[in-house]
Amino acid sequence: MCAYLTLSYDRKYGYVIYCTKCKHLQLAFGCLMIHFRNEEFKGFRKVVNEIMEDYSDCLDSSVKTITIPTPCEGLSLFLSPSEVGVLCRIVEEADSNLCANELLCLFSHPA
């Protein structure tokens, strides 16, 4: 049975949770929910950050023009620059909290 830890939450857009048992992550954003293995999430985070850098000068635009690939075959996100900004914030917060949790686990288990 899964035991979820909330890594990031935005009431309007979605969340990222992590199962401490099976070590998978779940991103809910808009009307989509995507499951990731840890390495897939890290890769997705990198792609989102690269796209964020490319569109940083037009983050106030609400016109959907950006396609973000996912690890799921045939599934991409189609977002506006402002939505990419929110997604980037959620993913970054989740990654920071995941790293912090991994560090805490190292210190809570005696060697």
Q: How confident is the model at residue 102 (pLDDT cuts 50, 70, 90)?
A: confident
- What domains are defined for the chain? 4-108 (2.30.31)
Distances (CA, A) of 74 to 47, 81, 85: 16, 22, 23
- Mean pLDDT, the chain, integer: 92
**pLDDT score at 48:** 96
Is residue 33 pLDDT above 90, yes or no? yes
Q: Which residues have C-beta within 8 Å of that of residue 84, sequence separation ≥ 6?
A: 48, 51, 52, 55, 59, 66, 68
pLDDT-based confidence at 78, cuts 50/70/90? very high
What average pLDDT score do residues 64-71 get?
Answer: 94
Cα first-last separation, the chain: 26
Predicted structure pTM score? 0.90
The pLDDT score that the predictor gives to residue 110 is 61
